[in-house]
Amino acid sequence: MYGYSGKILHVDLTTRKTWVESKPEEWYKIYIGGVSMASRLCWENIEVGCDPLSPGNPICIANGMFAGTPVPVGGKYGLASKSPLTGFIGDSLSSSWFTIALKRAGWDGIVIHGASDDWVYVFIDDDRVEFRDASQLLGLGTFQTEETIREELGDDQVRSATIGPAGEKLVRVASVTNDSRQAGRTGHGAVWGSKKLKALSVRGTHGVSVADPDALLQLSYDITQAAQGPHTQKYRILGTMANVLNLNRLGILPTRNYQQGVFEYAELISGEYLHEHYHVKTIACAQCPIACEQMSQVKDGPYAGAMTGIDYEPLYAVGSNCGVKDLRAAIKTIDICDRGGMDAMSTGVTISWAMETFERGIFTKEDFKCAKYPEGFEPNFGNAEAVVTLAEMIRDREGIGDLLAEGSKRASAQVDAERGTETWKWAMHIKGLETPGYDARGLKTFALGLAVGTRGACHNRTAAYDPDIKGEVDRFSVDETRGKLAKSTEEYAAVYDTLPLCKFIRRCFTGKADRAGAWPAIAKLINATTGWDFDYDAVDLIGERAFTIKKAFNIREGWTREDDHLPWRWMHEPMKEGPSAGYVVSEEELEYMKDLYYEAKGWTKDGLIPKEKLIALGMEDVAEEIGV
C-alpha cells in the first residue's frame, strides 16, 4: 500500500499495553483519513453510551494520505472522541509537524484507551512506545509543554500534541494543541485530562513513499505556484481576519452575545487595523505554501507582551461578541486561550453569555469575586479587562470560572435550575457547542447547516454560508433548494476534512472552487499518492461517507430529530438593525428545511439512516447496528 502503512497503533493507558492493528486497503478506501477515519476509529473503539470523561471514551487520531509528502496543505490530521460538550461525535482537525512525524513513525492512526492513574505523556519513537512521567509538565502552557518535552528528549524533531492547564482541570471547552495549531473545538482537552494524558509526543524518522512520486511532485509544484496568486490573497495578506469588516457590513458580525449583527467599533478590531498595528510575522503550517497565520503582538498597555496567531473565529468571539473594541485585550484573551489550551470560540461565547446574564441583573458583582478582584467586578459588554480575567478564571476553574468552564449549555442549565431563570434563551450553542462567527438569522441555508451539524454549531463542517454569501440563493428567505444545498455543502467540506486538505487551497487547482473545479485534480493527487483509480464520483463519495459515519455514531449515542435545533435567540428575536434587521429563523422554517435535508440525504423523516443506504456506502456493519 502506498500513502498508508496499513497500521493503527493502540495504546491502553490503564494497562500500559500497546498493540498493532492492521487494516485492509478496502477499509482505507472507505474511510480515507482525517475526520472520517478518526470518527470510524471512535465508532469501533468506544464503549457505547459512556460518559465522555470516562476511560471508555477513546482518543482517536487519523493522519491523512498526503501527510509527509509535498502535497500542499496536506499536513493535517483528524482527532475524534465523544465530545464532553455535546455528548455526540467530537471530530476536530489540526495540522503541521505533529501529523507528519506520526506518519514518518509509520502509523496511519492512534487509538488511546483507558485512563492513567498518574499524569503521563506517551512518547512514540518510531515503533517504540514509552509511557513517561508528566508530573514536571503539570501546569505548563501548551507551547511550553512542547518545548520542555523537546528538551527532555534532546531532539528538536520531536513533535507533541499537548493539553494546557485547562485540559488538566477538565475544562469542557479545552482544546488539544500541537505546533501552535489547535484541534480546538468540542472539548478534546478535557478528554485527555480525564485520562491524565498531558501530551502525545512523536519522533518519526522513516521516509514516506508514494505510488508515483514524479507525477505527485509535478501536481504539487503547480498547486504551490497557484497558491501564490489571487486565489489565496485574502489568506496570505490579512488572513481570515479580513472577515470582520465584510461580515459587519452584511449585518451578521456577532455582537454582544448575538444581540446585534453590526459592531460600531468593527474598524478597530478589523484585519486591516490588526495588520497595521500588531502584526509581526506570517507563519505557515508545515507543508503549506499559503501561510495564513498572522502572528500578532501587543506592544504597550497592561497586556504588553501577549503574542499569538490571530484568526477571525477566535477574534469575533472575544471581540465584538463581548463588545470589546481593544484589539490588545482581544489578543491577550486569545493568548490566554492558546497557551492555556482552550477553544477561544467557545470560551468567548460562554463569557458573552455571562456578560448578558450580568447585564440582565441575574449575576451581580458578587458573583465575580476572584483573587485578582476580591470584591468582584462588573462584566458589562465592552469591559475588556473582564473578558481577560474571565478567560483566566475559566482556565483555572476559579470562582465563577468553574461554572463557565462547563460551557454555555451546562452553565445556563445550572443557573436556571438554581435561580428559576431562563438564561438558556441567550446561551448560544447547538447541541452544546457554541455558535461560530456568523449570525445565522441573515444566512438561512447556513442556519440549516449548523442545526443538522453532527458536532454542533460548526462553520467548518457545514460550508452552507457559501451559497448565502455568494448570493446563489436569497440569504434572508427559505425555499425548497436548501435541503440539497446543506447536504451538498457539508459533504463538500467533508471531502477536505477527510483527506484532509486545508480548504484554503480549494481555488488553487483550477481557479474554481466547486466540485467540477477541484475533484478531478484531487483524484489525480490521490491516485499519484496511493496508486488507486479514484475519479470524480469516488472523491465525491468521501464526503458522504464521512458524514454518514459521524451521523451513525450520533444515532447510536441517542440522537433524535429534536437535537437538530438552533439557539432560542435566532428563532425568536429578530435582528434589530443593519441589513439583516427583522429576520429570525422561525420554527416552521427550520422544521421545513430539516425535512428537505433528511430527504436529500436519503434518510427517514426522523433523520435515521435506512439499512440499504448504509450498505450502498460500504458500511454493512454500521447498517447492522443502527440502520432502519
Partner 1 sequence: MPTSTSKYQYITCDPTKCVGCQLCEYICSYVKTGEFNTYRSRIRTVRAEEILITAVACRTCEDAPCVIACPRDALSQDPNTGIIHVDANRCDGCAWCVEACDFGAISINPETKTAEICDMCEDLEDGPQCVKWCPKEALELTTPDRRAQRSRRKLAVEEVLGR
Partner 2 sequence: MPKVVVEFYGTARQVTGQKEVTIELKEGGTFRDVVRALAARYPKLVGDVIQPGGEELQMPNMFNVNARRVVHDLDTQPQDGDRILLMFVTAGG
Determine which residue in the list 241, 327, 404, 411 makes contact with partner 2, applying CB under 8 A.
241
Task: Give the total residue count for the chain.
Answer: 628
Out of partner 1, partner 2, none, which partner does residue 510 contact, by CB within 5 to 8 A per kind? none
Determine which residue in the list 22, 117, 154, 207 makes contact with partner 1, applying CB under 8 A.
207
Residue from 292, 149, 226 nearest 513 by CA:
226
Asked if 58 and 41 count as a contact pair (C-beta separation under 8 A), the reply is yes
Nearest to partner 2 of 170, 440 (CB atom): 440
**What is the smallest separation between the CB atom of 95 and partner 2, expressed in angstroms?**
13
Residue from 104, 580, 386, 102 nearest 112 by CA:
102
Out of partner 1, partner 2, none, which partner does residue 227 contact, by CB within 5 to 8 A per kind? partner 1
Q: Which residues of 211-222 are buried (b: 16+ CB within 10 A; e: fewer)?
A: bbbeebeebbee
Grid cell for residue 423: 438564561
**With CB under 8 A, what is the number of residues at the site for partner 2?**
44
Q: What is the spatial order of strands in the sheet that 128-133 belongs to?
A: 128-133, 120-125, 197-203, 159-162, 176-178, 181-183
Measured in whole angstroms, the distance separating CA 199 from the mean position of its chain's CA atoms is 19
Out of partner 2, partner 1, none, which partner does residue 225 contact, by CB within 5 to 8 A per kind? partner 1
Q: With binding defined as CB under 8 A, does residue 302 bind partner 2?
A: no
293-297 and 279-283: which strand pairing?
A: antiparallel
**What is the smallest separation between the CB atom of 444 and partner 2, expressed in angstroms?**
14
Interface with partner 2 by CB under 8 A: which range of 46-54, 90-98, 243-251, 603-611?
A: 243-251
Interface with partner 2 by CB under 8 A: which range of 13-21, 205-213, 356-364, 465-473?
A: 465-473
Q: What is the helix (H) or strand (E) element at residue 178, kind and residue range?
A: strand 176-178
- What does the alpha-carbon distance between residue 504 and residue 351 come to, in Å, rounded to a whole number? 30
Determine which residue in the list 64, 239, 289, 348 makes contact with partner 2, applying CB under 8 A.
239
Measured from the Cβ of residue 578, the count of other Cβ atoms closer than 10 Å reads 20
**With CB under 8 A, what is the number of residues at the site for partner 1?**
37
**What is the smallest separation between the CB atom of 156 and partner 1, expressed in angstroms?**
8
Determine which residue in the list 36, 178, 240, 357 makes contact with partner 2, applying CB under 8 A.
240
Phi, psi of 293 (to 5 degrees): -80, 120
Nearest to partner 2 of 364, 477 (CB atom): 477
Q: With binding defined as CB under 8 A, does residue 234 bind partner 2?
A: yes
- What does the alpha-carbon distance between residue 461 and residue 315 come to, in Å, rounded to a whole number? 19
> Can you say whether residue 10 is alpha, beta or left, with left for phi > 0 and alpha for psi between -120 and 50 degrees?
beta
Which residues, 209 to 238, sit near partner 1 by CB under 8 A?
A: 209-210, 213, 217, 221, 224-225, 227-228
Determine which residue in the list 20, 48, 138, 280 makes contact with partner 1, applying CB under 8 A.
280
Q: With binding defined as CB under 8 A, does residue 99 bind partner 1?
A: no
- What does the alpha-carbon distance between residue 375 and residue 549 come to, in Å, rounded to a whole number? 50
Which runs of E-coded beta strand occur in 13-99?
17-22, 59-62, 76-82, 89-95
Asked if 444 and 575 count as a contact pair (C-beta separation under 8 A), the reply is no
Query: Taken in order 226, 544, 31, 101, is the CA torsion positive or negative?
Result: positive
Interface with partner 2 by CB under 8 A: which range of 373-381, 500-508, 537-545, 568-576?
A: 500-508
Q: With binding defined as CB under 8 A, does residue 600 bind partner 1?
A: no
Residue from 261, 430, 256 nearest 346 by CA:
430
Q: With binding defined as CB under 8 A, does residue 180 bind partner 1?
A: yes
Q: Which residue in this structure is represented by grid cell 435541503?
A: 483
Nearest to partner 2 of 139, 229 (CB atom): 229
**What is the smallest separation between the CB atom of 125 and partner 1, expressed in angstroms?**
13
- What does the alpha-carbon distance between residue 53 and residue 115 come to, in Å, rounded to a whole number? 10
Q: With binding defined as CB under 8 A, does residue 361 bind partner 2?
A: no
**What is the smallest separation between the CB atom of 149 and partner 1, expressed in angstroms?**
15
Which residues contact partner 2 (rule: CB under 8 A)?
230-231, 233-235, 237-243, 245-247, 249-251, 271-272, 311-315, 437-438, 459-460, 463, 465-466, 469-471, 474, 503-504, 507, 511-513, 578-579
Which residues contact partner 1 (rule: CB under 8 A)?
68-70, 97, 100, 104, 143, 157, 180, 204-210, 213, 217, 221, 224-225, 227-228, 280-289, 291, 295, 297, 307
